[in-house]
Structure 1
């Protein structure tokens, strides 16, 4: 990387590190934007910086990641001595430093994305039309992904689509549904702007299929069943690009199942280093024994993706989806979107539409790869229960899927409650329904006048 390109990339990332979380000092940012978008080469580095910023925070796979923290909040993980007990007990304080990071990191990506979009629209921008379209689609995708994470962690959040500090320094929370509308708009725009090809055959930058896969998930979360089925089917139908591979190869760099991954610079994903137990007692987190016991003994996902160690008479289970604990050689990328989830999305969307037979077929595809028998269509309730279990077996310790599923799925016993109430209340005496949302960071409430009295209930 040339020194000037590195300098401009660093500037566009670090200009979000100011005292206000969603507000940026305007003179410096205007200067950087005009400089960064003076050529194709430098603009390419700006988008590379956006992905690098993702990996430096909540997408890292380390102890500050959504995978780790949301796994503790659900019924998936048990903390070791490395921290996270407040997430495990769902007793998080608003001045928690990690909560502040979970809030501010996505807003860093949103600001960078907004800056890129602004720069691409400048009349003085000396960027080719093809690259302008590509970078615009990528920026819109990352903005949508960042907002998806924010609203599923915090609920209503400020919706900022600008770099204007006059707006960002005093902005109220926006309804979650309005934010979802913007996410869908961004993802549809990304679909239209991006090609279906991966750049340099590396699955680490957004393309049309990446946007489509996230859009399928968004529609599922919103209960737009037909739309979710259509988008998931589009990804599944692209079997020239996406195919299942053996379980021990799913999380390898550029695997056939990967839709979107992130790559660290000359290093493996941090997930293995976070979870794999070495020759000492468990430090970070282990899988709940009840989760391990829920697997069919013949399920190959259990034998391939879970390993145990015994210390002082106690057996600990840990995920081995990622196995490369050393920094190099690089064999594993952080996998964010993959094919198996699209089958789960389509199956659930089909059940809600009464398409039980084809939904059962989707689940059977995953079960056959795991060495299990096909299932047959049953009642709607039985199928939804099976899909809930299959999502655990397939997606455990990935990107907070279990935590988000518990929050979005209705209770089986009490109207208005969620599956989180059903399953976490027996595990945590202090559980409250309001715990499904994390607290808004205290520093955000103090610095943003429009949010002064906008804390989530229960905190």
Structure 2
């Protein structure tokens, strides 16, 4: 199959055809119509394969070019604060840390408006490609990438806010701006079908030598997660199995290489193409790693999480960093170790192989394939330097062990811990023990009041 030529994202920011400005979002409109003046027209964007490929690459650029946005650190910080992972010293995150969110809480508007802007841009890409004279192969590749990105955003919107509209085109702006929320069943059915179409259309090879443009396995990795959240255990197992069986991916035995841009564990990464700060590798590293090696971080782990590490766990030794505050030893997240440096060595790792083992383990457990589930959990434990779990464990004990491995393996990555606790009905018992004054009403994230003003048919999260 002929594929679009690879072009480095850094050189083609202007082709981020539909990039909505992230910091100044209008409250008068749900979806925007006009592109910024620096962008090329839709017709020019899809006039040839080179420009069309750069246009799609620009979508990923727009997701990760400024700090503290939906896809560039914000999800990690606020959802880790809502859960029992990060305890931030910044007062702007206090409402997350204390689980006292209101429709006026800072950053909630970004968690809604930015993914919807990427959905809108993905829809425009799909429509632009359909109307173009590009080859069938190029159209299939680039449309598949846009579908993948669209589902990626819907996955987070649906799990953050529950009640979100399903927007799949840009042909009727007024109608789209008045849409009410879709049901969870409708959203998940759409995500499954969109990803299945993307998997059928996208090549299995990566564009270029890095993993910053999704391939078929990236699509299948996200699909496995969607199946898991939908409790479709058989399909979650089978789809994760496809990814695990690909010899290009392996669990990195040196934990310090997992989040490098050359990581063999990475399935899909975001390259930071920042427009504000020189030398940024990832926005997580820039935000969490102190500017001076001897300084303290503004983020530390909850004591309850620290207590869950077994002696000898290499994840504590390699993915956390200790520092002293008086006579007390505290720990900061340290998966990303670079604040700023050139050349760039780390990329934001969005999908990686370890999650697929944990997805398959949970899917197998729920099909009563207990031995196979333990085998998958042990892949993660043994990489972390821990003893294998015995195959004599009861199902309930395996579930507890799996929850712990997801907690420690995926610590601080894209909100996994918060979503896991909510979807498995474990948030109340776990967070009541870790925090003071946590209650069932704290399980729902409200939609920002500024967002509700944009559409009279939106409904506040209960």
Q: Does TM, normalized by the shorter one, top 0.5?
A: yes
Seen in structure 2, the aligned counterparts of structure 1 residues 20 and 216 have a Cα distance that, compared at 3 Å, is farther
* Corresponding position: 1:455 with 2:460: yes
Q: Secondary structure at the match of 2:214?
A: coil
Please identify, of 429-438 and 232-241, the stretch whose mean Cα deviation from structure 2 is larger. Answer: 429-438
1:425 is displaced (CA, Å) by 2.4
Cα deviation, 1:150-185, whole Å, max 9, x if unaligned, reads 111111211101113122221111112211111111
Counterpart-to-counterpart distance in 2, 1:282 and 1:448:
43
Cα deviation, 1:127-159, whole Å, max 9, x if unaligned, reads 232221111000000000000011111112111
* Corresponding position: 1:396 with 2:385: no
Cα deviation, 1:362-408, whole Å, max 9, x if unaligned, reads 11111111111111221110000000011112111111111011001
Query: What residue is the counterpart of 1:132 in the other structure?
Result: 139
Residues 286 and 338 of structure 2 are in contact (CA less than 8 Å); yes or no, is this contact kept in structure 1?
A: yes
Query: What residue is the counterpart of 1:105 in the other structure?
Result: 114
1:35 is displaced (CA, Å) by 2.8
Query: What residue is the counterpart of 2:430 in the other structure?
Result: 423
Counterpart-to-counterpart distance in 1, 2:80 and 2:21:
31
Seen in structure 2, the aligned counterparts of structure 1 residues 26 and 319 have a Cα distance that, compared at 3 Å, is closer
Cα deviation, 1:394-446, whole Å, max 9, x if unaligned, reads 1111111110110011xxxxxxxx21111122444443323222111111211
1:233 is displaced (CA, Å) by 0.5
Q: Secondary structure at the match of 1:186?
A: helix
Query: What residue is the counterpart of 1:54 in the other structure?
Result: 63
The within-5 A match list for 1:285-300 is 285-300=299-314
Task: Name whichever structure is richer in helix by fraction.
Answer: 1
Query: What residue is the counterpart of 1:355 in the other structure?
Result: 369
Query: What residue is the counterpart of 2:18 in the other structure?
Result: 12
Residues 15 and 40 of structure 2 are in contact (CA less than 8 Å); yes or no, is this contact kept in structure 1?
A: no
Aligned pair partner of 1:186 in 179, 194, 198: 194
* Corresponding position: 1:272 with 2:285: yes
Aligned pair partner of 1:149 in 151, 156, 159: 156
Query: What residue is the counterpart of 2:221 in the other structure?
Result: 213
Counterpart-to-counterpart distance in 2, 1:346 and 1:319:
26
1:11 is displaced (CA, Å) by 4.7
Query: What residue is the counterpart of 1:413 in the other structure?
Result: none
Q: TM-score, normalised by structure 2?
A: 0.90
Residues 281 and 311 of structure 1 are in contact (CA less than 8 Å); yes or no, is this contact kept in structure 2?
A: no
Q: CA RMSD in A?
A: 2.3
Aligned pair partner of 1:161 in 168, 175, 193: 168
Counterpart-to-counterpart distance in 2, 1:238 and 1:25:
41
Query: What residue is the counterpart of 1:239 in the other structure?
Result: 247
Counterpart-to-counterpart distance in 2, 1:35 and 1:349:
45
Please identify, of 29-38 and 111-120, the stretch whose mean Cα deviation from structure 2 is larger. Answer: 29-38
* Corresponding position: 1:370 with 2:379: no
* Corresponding position: 1:316 with 2:350: no
Aligned length: 440
Q: Which runs of 4+ in 1 moved over 6 A?
A: 26-31
Seen in structure 2, the aligned counterparts of structure 1 residues 67 and 148 have a Cα distance that, compared at 3 Å, is same
Counterpart-to-counterpart distance in 2, 1:288 and 1:8:
42
* Corresponding position: 1:386 with 2:401: yes
Q: Runs of 5+ in structure 1 lacking a partner?
A: 410-417
Residues 80 and 282 of structure 1 are in contact (CA less than 8 Å); yes or no, is this contact kept in structure 2?
A: no
Q: Secondary structure at the match of 1:310?
A: strand
Query: What residue is the counterpart of 2:3 in the other structure?
Result: none
